[in-house]
Structure 1
């Protein structure tokens, strides 16, 4: 029997728990908690027009979910996103088709003409997407490594001249230096939708005030007192650690500072009891892929960025 599709219920904590469970069952590499799901819905930028859809059986059990909206910050009109998630044990019953249809109908009402979606390269999802008109455009990889048993490299002693390592928590009074670094690094990331500069208050709210962001584990490398590189840590409060973003400002690249910042964050994560570390990289981002391999990460899954005109 096909699941029924409805809007996410912001006033029902059980809905956030159900969506988090669906996402974890489908993409276990991502840090996802009920608190994060509820926060993302409540704090989505108004211009994103984001909608979270939930599929459920007749008994109320969540069988999948999808999120749809406008690409935040896109400088090109008519760009939207639709990400559909159905756990492996729930596939083949029409749930994914119903979610995609509902999501596309919503986007059409927003005058979206081009829809972007991340699709797992798992032998099933790509065929599902292709039959519905979604064409692959670029690849990305999930990478993971253990923290509880596998060895981590030591930090160099001493650090390179002029370099100091810090926790982001030390910058709590003024995150603007990190904002400037993140804005510069994000502009250089591979992507297929041009986006403009995010205003500082919005950046602060939608990145660094997330409930899963961990200021104690996130790391910053300074060179002569200036922010040169950083690594953002997101955690689930249990055993999973996700590197949300690692970057080095242009003037400091080629000196191994991203690796230092990320290694410092990983070592703190292990000391805090986290057992699994994951990250994600565009397949063309060879410099960051090389950093992660040197830190002991290995590819655990691949996904396609797919596009459809509607």
Structure 2
């Protein structure tokens, strides 16, 4: 019996999520979250391209291929391309069959730059991409903090914000000024901070409207976990996000964390990060995950001081260029 590849449909979302989680167990995805993310891409005002395929043998799903245009690093000729096969289905030609369909599809669209990636403790996956002309673009680490080992009291001084600033969650700020105004203040800081995050491609601005829709419609929206440093005038000058992304209720992920340029070197982001860790502890969370590029040496050093420990590195890879 041979492996066949067909386009995936919305009815396949549970199978897609299961296969993606099996291929990348460090970052499992729920069907609800994947359906939401694909729906956001399809409905984006940039008119993003989304294509998905399933490899099957005898009616059993074995792997997934994706071709996506990402709004955060958009270019009309740039695509995120990925082949995901859980280990139990490897070494059967599944990846090659999916890659053949994916490559033909992207050639037909005139793609000039492809981004993909693999973990360095999966050398076969890195080799799979290297054979197809990909090379390294950005190396990053998952860093994991075991909260049972974290002593918040040892960081009491660093957890204090300077005079004139207060720490509030997005949920608390929404009670004070309304959700739309709170999101607008959050967006102003978020848009500036994300411009300085190390990445393989230049960032595309997020409009306030798309940012608000992304937040409010996300199945993992967690406004209590978004901690903001706010001035007396109501300006958000620093932020630290906790996110519920995966399938484990005892785990939270860190989203964007940082400070607006005019307010840096005052310990604001660290104070907010400590606030999110205290919140996670109060919720009974066991682990907090974060990701950092290996070029972000100050953040890697800070995470090590806090007790985060690195996992195997993720190598983002690029073919071509725009």
Give your verdict on TM over 0.5. yes
Confirm or deny: 8 A CA contact 2:23 2:85 kept in the other structure: yes
Q: Which moved more, 1:117-126 or 1:289-298?
A: 289-298
Partner of 1:239: 250
TM-score using structure 1 length: 0.89
Partner of 2:63: 64
Partner of 1:104: 103
SS of equivalent residue, structure 2 residue 71: coil
Q: Which moved more, 1:259-268 or 1:231-240?
A: 231-240
Query: Which structure 2 residue ranges, 5 or more long, are not aligned?
Result: none
Partner of 1:256: 267
SS of equivalent residue, structure 1 residue 299: strand
Could you give the per-residue CA deviations for residues 60-104 of structure 1, whole angstroms, max 9, x where no partner exists?
A: 3x3222321224255654211112222222221122222222222
Partner of 2:16: 19
Query: Which structure 1 residue ranges, 5 or more long, are not aligned?
Result: none
Counterpart CA distance in 2 for 1:306 and 1:267 is 36
Check 1:110–1:38 CA distance in 2 against 1; reply closer, same or farther (3 A cut).
same
Counterpart CA distance in 1 for 2:284 and 2:21 is 20
SS of equivalent residue, structure 2 residue 292: strand
Partner of 2:201: 193
Counterpart CA distance in 2 for 1:169 and 1:102 is 45
**Offset of residue 183 of structure 1:** 0.8
Partner of 2:8: 8
Q: Which moved more, 1:283-292 or 1:115-124?
A: 283-292
The aligned runs of 1:145-184 (5 Å cut-off) are 145-147=145-147, 149-154=148-153, 156=156, 159-172=161-174, 173=179, 174=181, 175-184=183-192
Confirm or deny: 8 A CA contact 2:161 2:268 kept in the other structure: no
Q: CA RMSD in A?
A: 2.3
SS of equivalent residue, structure 2 residue 225: coil
Partner of 1:269: 280
Partner of 1:55: 55
TM-score using structure 2 length: 0.86
Matched, 1:126 2:134: no
Counterpart CA distance in 2 for 1:208 and 1:298 is 32
